[in-house]
Structure 1
Amino acid sequence: MSYFPRRHFLKMALTGSTAMVLANRAIAQATSLSDVGAAIIGIDTATIFVAREIVTLDPEQPTAQAVAIVNDRVLASGTLEEVQVLIGDRPHDLDRTFEDHVIVPGFIAQHDHPILAGLTMSSLILSIEDWDLPDGNTTALEDKDDFMTRLAKAESELSDPSEPLLTWGYHAAFYGPLTRSDLDSISGERPIFAWARSCHEFVLNSAALSKAGVTKELVESWSESEQSQSNFEDGHFWEQGLFAVLPNIAPMIANPDKFRSGLLTMRDYMHAKGVTFGNEPGGILAKPIQDAVNAVMSAPSMPFRWTFIPDGKSLVATYENDADVIQQTKALVDWYGGMTSMVSDSVKLFSDGAIYSLAIQLRDPPIGDYHGEWMMDKDAFERAFRVYWDAGYQIHVHVNGDAGLDRVLNTLEDNLLRNPRFDHRTVIVHFAVSAPDQVDRIRRLGAIVSANPYYVTALSDRYGETGLGSDRADQMVRLGDLDRAGVSWSLHSDMPMAPGDPLFLMWCAVNRVTSSGRVAGGNQKVSAEEALRGVTINAAYSHHLEDELGSIEPGKLANFTILEENPLAVDPMAIKAIVVWGTVMEGRVQKVGEVSVDEARLNNGVIPSESEFAKQALNHALSVVHNHL
Structure 2
Amino acid sequence: MIEVYLAKTIVTMNASWPEATAIAIREGKILEVGTLESLQPWLIRFEHRVIDTYRDAVIVPGFIDPHLHPSMAAVILPMHFITAMPWSLPWGHVPATVTAEGFDQRLAEIAKVEDDEVLIVWGHHDLWHGAMTRSRIEAVESSRPVVVWNRSFHELHMNSACMSFLNITEDIVEGRPQIDYARGRFFENGLGYAIQKLNPYILAEARFTFGLERLKQVVAAGGHTTVGDMAVGLFDFDRELNVTRALFENDSTPFRIEQVPHGAVVTHQRTFEETNAFIESLIEGNTPRLHFRKRIKLFADGAFFSQLAQLLPPGYLDGHQGEWLMAPDVLEERIDLFWQAGYQIHVHVTGDMGVEVALDCLAKAQAKKPRFDHGFTLEHMGYATPEQLQRAKRLGASVSANIYYLHELSARYAELSVGYERASTMGRLASSFALDLTTAIHSDFTMAPAEPLLNMWVAVNRVNAQGEVMGPHECISAEQALAAVTINAAKVLGIDALTGSLRAGKTADMTILSDNPLTVPSMAIKDVKVLATVFEGELTQALQ
Query: Which of the five TM-score ranges fits, normalised by the shorter chain?
Result: over 0.9
Matched, 1:126 2:90: no
The residue correspondences of 1:220-619 to structure 2 (distance < 5 A) are 220-225=171-176, 229-231=180-182, 235-239=184-188, 242-246=191-195, 248-284=197-233, 286-320=237-271, 322-334=272-284, 336-343=286-293, 345-364=294-313, 365-593=315-543
The more displaced of 364-373 and 497-506 is 364-373
> What is the CA–CA distance in structure 1 between the aligned matches of 2:185 and 2:342, rounded to whole Å?
44
Q: What are the superposed Cα offsets for residues 539-598 of structure 1, whole Å, 9 maximum, x if unpaired?
A: 11112211211111111111001111111111211211221112000000001249xxxx
Structure 1 counterpart of 2:471, one-letter code = G
Structure 2 counterpart of 1:566, one-letter code = N
> What is the CA–CA distance in structure 1 between the aligned matches of 2:543 and 2:348, rounded to whole Å?
34
Structure 2 counterpart of 1:470, one-letter code = Y
Pair 390,203 (structure 1): closer, same or farther in 2 beyond 3 Å = closer
> What is the CA–CA distance in structure 1 between the aligned matches of 2:27 and 2:191, rounded to whole Å?
50
Does the CA contact (< 8 Å) of 1:300 and 1:339 recur in 2?
Answer: no
Structure 2 counterpart of 1:497, one-letter code = M
Pair 257,316 (structure 1): closer, same or farther in 2 beyond 3 Å = closer
Q: What are the superposed Cα offsets for residues 367-391 of structure 1, whole Å, 9 maximum, x if unpaired?
A: 2142133332333322222222222
Q: What are the superposed Cα offsets for residues 216-253 of structure 1, whole Å, 9 maximum, x if unpaired?
A: xx224431346961226xx5544566555555544444
> What is the deviation of 1:210?
5.3
> What is the deviation of 1:400?
2.0
Map of 1:114 onto structure 2: 70
> What is the CA–CA distance in structure 2 between the aligned matches of 1:578 and 1:192, rounded to whole Å?
39
Q: What are the superposed Cα offsets for residues 311-356 of structure 1, whole Å, 9 maximum, x if unpaired?
A: 2334445334x4334223322335553421212x222222222322
Map of 1:27 onto structure 2: none
3-state SS in 1 of match to 2:173:
coil
Matched, 1:139 2:95: yes
> What is the CA–CA distance in structure 1 between the aligned matches of 2:239 and 2:172, rounded to whole Å?
31
Q: What are the superposed Cα offsets for residues 64-101 of structure 1, whole Å, 9 maximum, x if unpaired?
A: 11111111011112222222354225210011121222
3-state SS in 1 of match to 2:400:
strand
> What is the deviation of 1:445?
1.5
Does the CA contact (< 8 Å) of 2:154 and 2:303 recur in 1?
Answer: no
> What is the deviation of 1:121?
1.0
Does the CA contact (< 8 Å) of 1:351 and 1:376 recur in 2?
Answer: yes
Matched, 1:72 2:21: no
3-state SS in 2 of match to 1:90:
coil
3-state SS in 1 of match to 2:21:
strand
Q: 2:8 aligns with which of 49, 52, 56?
A: 52
3-state SS in 1 of match to 2:131:
coil
Q: What are the superposed Cα offsets for residues 115-136 of structure 1, whole Å, 9 maximum, x if unpaired?
A: 1111111111111222221211
Matched, 1:104 2:54: no
Map of 1:165 onto structure 2: 119
> What is the deviation of 1:162?
6.2
Q: What are the superposed Cα offsets for residues 516-547 of structure 1, whole Å, 9 maximum, x if unpaired?
A: 11011111110011000000000111122112
Does the CA contact (< 8 Å) of 1:75 and 1:554 recur in 2?
Answer: yes
> What is the deviation of 1:206?
5.6
Q: Calculate the TM-score normalised by the size of structure 1.
A: 0.81
Does the CA contact (< 8 Å) of 2:124 and 2:151 recur in 1?
Answer: yes
Pair 498,517 (structure 1): closer, same or farther in 2 beyond 3 Å = same
Does the CA contact (< 8 Å) of 2:173 and 2:179 recur in 1?
Answer: no
> What is the deviation of 1:200?
3.0
> What is the CA–CA distance in structure 2 between the aligned matches of 1:286 and 1:353, rounded to whole Å?
22
> What is the deviation of 1:438?
1.4
> What is the deviation of 1:46?
0.3
> What is the CA–CA distance in structure 2 between the aligned matches of 1:162 and 1:484, rounded to whole Å?
51
Does the CA contact (< 8 Å) of 1:361 and 1:404 recur in 2?
Answer: yes
Matched, 1:148 2:99: no
Q: What are the superposed Cα offsets for residues 43-62 of structure 1, whole Å, 9 maximum, x if unpaired?
A: xx101111122111122221
3-state SS in 2 of match to 1:110:
strand
3-state SS in 2 of match to 1:411:
helix
Does the CA contact (< 8 Å) of 2:298 and 2:345 recur in 1?
Answer: yes
Identity of aligned pairs, percent? 35
Does the CA contact (< 8 Å) of 1:101 and 1:562 recur in 2?
Answer: yes
Structure 2 counterpart of 1:266, one-letter code = L
- For structure 1, the 5+ residue unaligned runs are 1-44, 595-629
Pair 482,241 (structure 1): closer, same or farther in 2 beyond 3 Å = closer
> What's the RMSD between the two structures over aligned residues?
2.4
Does the CA contact (< 8 Å) of 1:316 and 1:384 recur in 2?
Answer: no
Structure 1 counterpart of 2:263, one-letter code = G
3-state SS in 2 of match to 1:381:
helix
Pair 244,560 (structure 1): closer, same or farther in 2 beyond 3 Å = closer
3-state SS in 2 of match to 1:542:
helix
> What is the CA–CA distance in structure 1 between the aligned matches of 2:491 and 2:377, rounded to whole Å?
11
Structure 2 counterpart of 1:571, one-letter code = P
4+ residue runs of structure 1 moved beyond 6 angstroms? none
Does the CA contact (< 8 Å) of 1:229 and 1:240 recur in 2?
Answer: no
Does the CA contact (< 8 Å) of 1:222 and 1:244 recur in 2?
Answer: no
Does the CA contact (< 8 Å) of 1:53 and 1:101 recur in 2?
Answer: yes
Instruction: Point out the structure with max Rg over C-alpha.
Output: 1
> What is the CA–CA distance in structure 1 between the aligned matches of 2:229 and 2:50, rounded to whole Å?
37
Pair 89,324 (structure 1): closer, same or farther in 2 beyond 3 Å = closer
Pair 352,150 (structure 1): closer, same or farther in 2 beyond 3 Å = closer
> What is the CA–CA distance in structure 2 between the aligned matches of 1:125 and 1:134, rounded to whole Å?
14
> What is the deviation of 1:279?
1.0
Pair 412,191 (structure 1): closer, same or farther in 2 beyond 3 Å = closer
Q: 1:198 aligns with which of 152, 159, 174?
A: 152
Q: What are the superposed Cα offsets for residues 267-290 of structure 1, whole Å, 9 maximum, x if unpaired?
A: 111100001011112322621332
Pair 246,52 (structure 1): closer, same or farther in 2 beyond 3 Å = closer
3-state SS in 1 of match to 2:19:
strand
Structure 1 counterpart of 2:362, one-letter code = L
> What is the deviation of 1:182?
4.9
Does the CA contact (< 8 Å) of 1:129 and 1:140 recur in 2?
Answer: yes
Pair 64,460 (structure 1): closer, same or farther in 2 beyond 3 Å = same
3-state SS in 2 of match to 1:231:
coil
> What is the CA–CA distance in structure 2 between the aligned matches of 1:162 and 1:476, rounded to whole Å?
39
Structure 1 counterpart of 2:300, one-letter code = S
Structure 2 counterpart of 1:302, one-letter code = T
Pair 593,359 (structure 1): closer, same or farther in 2 beyond 3 Å = closer
